[in-house]
Copies of this chain bind each other. A is one copy, B any other.
Amino acid sequence: MTEAETLLLFKCLADKSRLQILKSLAVEDMYVERLAERLDLTAPTISFHLKKLADVGAVRSYKTQYYTMYALCDEVFKPSMLDLIREKSSEADLQAQRDEAYRQKVLQAFIQHGKLKSIPAQKKKERIILEELLKSFEPGRVYTEREVNIILADYHDDFCTLRRDMIGEHLMARDKNGYWRIDQQA
């Protein structure tokens, strides 16, 4: 079941009238007008709800002589809600989730109380730290080397290494006028 389908299913359960319809159908099959009478709603309203329920496969219908009988499809409601919550999101989302978890882990390991405990030896980890420090610079603005140093010194004494690696990782660029952020477009 896709994420969108799950949402649709829950939306069906999230309405008083539809919940009552399902409860009624759980007892016995019924036709539109009888449901309307039971729930004190008009037939069009019942029809509207039944259509939504049918769309997610929650009910099915069959003809008897006079009426269109509606019946509950139990199967759809067998899984526990937890199952559906745990169901993996789209693959891309899952990956993003793992990446973000890792990123947070690194940040928490190296940055404490706003200070950088040490500069990570692993390139991958240092990159994460640098990306975080980059947030202290405004996009588009040009900084003097002195300004860059002051900002970076706030995190770690070795601001020279940090500044150099910002350039090395292509997170910042420089020319004779100064330094600026390089922003990858979203």
How many copies of the shown chain assemble into the complex?
2
Contacts of A160 in B (CB 8 A): none
Residue-wise interface mask of A (1-34) relative to B, using a CB-CB cutoff of 8 A (1 in contact, 0 not): 0010011001101101001101110111000001
Contacts of A26 in B (CB 8 A): 85-86
A23 to B27, CA, bound (A): 33
A14 to B100, CA, bound (A): 26
Contacts of A20 in B (CB 8 A): 89
Q: How large is the interface on A (under 10, 10 to 19, 20 to 34, 35 or more residues)?
A: 35 or more
Q: A101 to B14, Cβ gap below 8 A?
A: no
Nearest CB of B to A75, in Å:
9
Q: B19 to A85, Cβ gap below 8 A?
A: yes
Interfacial residues, chain A to chain B (CB-CB below 8 A): 3, 6-7, 10-11, 13-14, 16, 19-20, 22-24, 26-28, 34, 38, 72, 74, 76-82, 85-86, 89, 96-97, 100-101, 104
Contacts of A16 in B (CB 8 A): 7
A96 to B82, CA, bound (A): 33
